[in-house]
A and B are shown apart, each in its own frame.
Chain A
Amino acid sequence: MAVLNPNIVAYKKYNRCLLTTVFAALFFLIAANWIVDPYSIFHTKFLKIPVEPSKYYNKVEFLERNHNRFNSFILGSSAVSFTDPRLLERYLPGSHFYNLYAESATQYENLALLKYLIRKGFDVKNIYLQVDIPIALSAFGHLETDYARKLHPFVTDRNPYLYYFEHLTLFPSRRLWQKILVNLHHLPPPKTVIDFTTGMMTAPDQESLIEKDPEAYVRNTASFPERPPRSIRGTKAAENLSALREVKELCDREGIRLILFTGPEHRVEMDKLVAHDYLDFLKKLSDIAEFWDFSSYNSVTTDNRLYYESHHYRPVVSWMIAARIFQDPSVPVPPDFGFLVKRDNVDSYLTQLFEKVQLLSMKE
């Protein structure tokens, strides 16, 4: 093969041009991420309205700045996001709760957050942990490419500079564009509002729509009439159960009160679960700790008016959950909502659940 030999000047020019292209593009990319701040990491405030800020990051940042303010934490996925921490403080005097939910959190994230709290010397007295059954069956951990769910570097014990540099060199085009348009008032702001001082989410627009005309709201919500196939298997159940076991052991060791419960999955979400794997998970969960089971088909999970959509229940449901757990007779709770599952009653309980699932399947 003939060996070509352009002169040295050509190579030098090539190298300069290549490196200039790379660094120029990187500069613009870094500038865009810094100015627009799509995940609200840098708080540069050029664009004042936040759009989908990273809860994983901003909540931990808030806790770091308010280290001694909280001694109790709510953990779970966004299903528990509408739970007001002050609600729990009524039942546990002396507690100061923070809602440390994380979107699509699996037990990997819950365990990581608990370890972070202990490692960083937070005075943790209570953990109110909701197990989101569909997630617990089928997901564990998260993709590192999912920057919305990237754990804070203090939680993962990573180098924070690397974390920030990664965020400067991303190109989340949808998020960048969306935040620009919202701030230029070409798009409406997000419907849900996160309050980082409590950690909870609120959905004022949706609440007022439901209260105004719940039937219309239910009719207009796309997810309620779905009839999905039973497809969610317990492919990641073992990992989640192992993490939960570790959570329990940590709590026991540190003298932390662990209040464990399964979330009230909307009927549409329940319909996705392969019955055997769901029941098996509950059985194995009972081996780890006693827990309150709000899942399955009951008066709450089959009432569309109690949900914003199939993944998130309204605050009124979180009041009912807390009232059942803490035995508050002043809050009306349907009798079939919430059952304390222990090792000695789990078999009979699961038999009843299985019959319910069978009955429902036959009706379909």
Chain B
Amino acid sequence: MLFNSLPFIFLFLPIVLTTFLTLGRRGSTTWGLLVWLTAASLFFYGWWNIPYVLLLAGGVLFNFIIGHLLSSSRGRDRPVGARKAILALGITLDLLVLGYFKYANFFIENLNFLFGIHAGSLGILLPLGISFHTFQQIAYLVDAYREGTEPYPLLRYATFVCFFPQLIAGPIAYHKEVIPQFSKQEFRLPDPKNIAIGLTLFAIGLFKKVILADGVASYASPIFQAAADGSPLAMIQSWGGALGYTLQLYFDFSGYSDMAIGLARLFNVKLPLNFNSPYKATNIIEFWRRWHMTLSRFLRDYLYISLGGNRKGPWRRYLNLMITMLLGGLWHGAGWNFVIWGGLHGLYLTVNHAWRRLRKQIPGLGEKPSRAGRIVAWSLTFVSVVVGWVFFRAETLPAALTLIKGMMGFNGLGLPAGWIQTWLYDLGGLRHFLNALGLSSASYIPLPGLRATAWIAVLLFIALFSPNSQQILGAFEPALNLESRKSLSKMEQWIQWRPNIGWAFLIGTVSVLIVVNLANVSEFLYWQF
């Protein structure tokens, strides 16, 4: 069941929320509320595929037992070797299950390629959200081992893992962030403030997904399809497709995260922040502190640091970064394009860290960059990210390279056919000269027309210059880990959300606009994970 679907918005959510609030108002215990939430979450998951509910439940039970073995008082008294073995068992089995469902066919394809065998692919249906809840549970097991957290009751643990707002596509919340919230009195009592914030954030997220992301998707997909077909793409076409996808992915995923955070807030639960205007970053290190923040911190806390982090010298640091990002890329999907994307970002991070180190060592370079310097830094960062997304999205490596070549101008500039014919015919003999410069009329692949270009420009403006949804609601702490700021800029103050009639009408109107557009079929791009 997608968040942006009529059954979810008009059936599932009202029923689950109304029941939850009624139970709370009537003085239900935490236990009752958690039972209801868990049951609803399993129903939500089972709407897509009932047998996989058993897989999810099995995974929850297994990790709960492992976690209990590590975190109970008896578990804490076990010898280190035994605790390590239990942890290794838990993580290994979690990764084996993930590996089977997500990577088995990828593994078979590569074996076929390398050894010339013809093993058939397995008909495996990827369980929704398996990458997310596997990582959540691995984090719990490692914390149980490292910190000896208090063992949780099964129901609280199950609710944490299965909690439907974040079950399918994150944010990847840590157990220590969420489970303690279930014990608070605020969790049990209906709170108009949480409902107001939750509904508003949900509507904003839906708007980003249904109107912004889906609106630009139709411009990007044909370009990538053309690249996959091997058609040579002109520069404007290529950049249009790449930028279109860059914006589509951001608004799609950040919109989803907003919805997840908003939905959780309706149930008096705060989830961690996941996006913080990543395309405003002026370097790749900053980008990864703003993009899919919960994945970044998971990779940092449970992979990068475990590999040694930056504690073993710069070269080992760079190696750890590469390994982390390569695996991070692979986590996104079973395909070499994802690994290449991860490797690219590993390279970017390595270069960034090395550059920072160099700047500290060379006099004069360590000063705060000028405005022009920041613009250059931003441009370089943004272009690097866009290039990375081309590999992320392209169906094959040759398709990605076709698009990159187009972006670099190897196939000419290209102009919309309607423009060029008038131009060239009017200019008469200059036609050949302009053609030689690459100003030729487009191939049959549609160029981004005026409307598409304007739409991409609008979205770019929003992504780069407007406050994000968390900043709009910043004063009301919509999410965990929102960075504290001493003061808001004038623009941010002006655009701050308030629970007043004006905002209610605006959000209500936006919501109706969303419902009207809801019939558009769309899949969350991170659905495949």
Contacts and interface: CB of A to CB of B under 8 A. Distances in A.
A345 interface: no
Given A17-B508, A18-B508, A25-B509, A231 B444 contact: yes
A1 interface: yes
A15 B505 contact: no
B503 A3 contact: no
B82 interface: no
B6 A20 contact: no
Interface in A71-130: none
Interface in B464-493: 474-477, 482, 484-486, 488
A235 interface: yes
A165 B5 CA distance: 11
A145 interface: yes
Interface residues of A, number: 35
Interface string B406-445: 0000000000000000000000000000000000000010
Contacts of B484: 1
A25 B508 contact: yes
Interface in A146-165: 147, 162, 165
Given A1-B475, A11-B499, A15-B199, A21 B516 contact: no
A325 B77 CA distance: 86
Interface string B2-14: 0000110010000
A10 B196 CA distance: 10
Contacts of A147: 519
B212 to A, nearest CB: 16
B185 to A, nearest CB: 16
A16 B517 CA distance: 23
Given A20-B508, A165-B6, A11 B196 contact: yes
A79 B503 CA distance: 51
B500 interface: yes
A21 B512 contact: yes
B25 interface: no
Contacts of B196: 11, 14-15, 18
B520 A14 contact: no
B505 A8 contact: no
B512 A10 contact: no
Contacts of B508: 17-22, 25
| Chain B interface main SS type | helix
Given A12-B192, A14-B500, A4 B516 contact: no
B518 interface: yes
A295 B480 CA distance: 64
Interface string B504-517: 11011101100110
A235 B229 contact: yes
Nearest to B496: A4
A10 B500 contact: yes
Interface string A11-44: 1111101111110011001000000000000000
B85 interface: no
Given A10-B500, A11-B195, A2 B512 contact: no
Interface residues of B, number: 39
Contact of A15 (B192, B444, B486, B511): B192
Nearest to B225: A235
Contacts of B518: 169
A229 B417 CA distance: 12
A69 B337 CA distance: 55
B199 A29 contact: no
Nearest to A11: B192
Contacts of A165: 6, 10
A26 B512 contact: yes
A8 B520 contact: no
A17 B521 contact: no
A233 interface: yes
B6 A143 contact: no
B6 A29 contact: no
B519 A4 contact: no
A170 B195 CA distance: 27
B498 interface: yes
B475 A18 contact: no
Contacts of B297: none
Interface of A: 1-4, 6, 8, 10-15, 17-22, 25-26, 29, 143-145, 147, 162, 165-166, 169-171, 229, 231, 233, 235
Interface of B: 6-7, 10, 192-193, 195-196, 199-200, 225, 229, 444, 474-477, 482, 484-486, 488, 498-501, 503-505, 507-509, 511-512, 515-516, 518-521
Given A169-B519, A170-B519, 17 more contacts: A1-B485, A11-B195, A11-B196, A12-B192, A14-B196, A14-B499, A15-B199, A17-B505, A17-B508, A18-B199, A18-B511, A21-B508, A22-B512, A26-B515, A145-B521, A171-B516, A231-B444
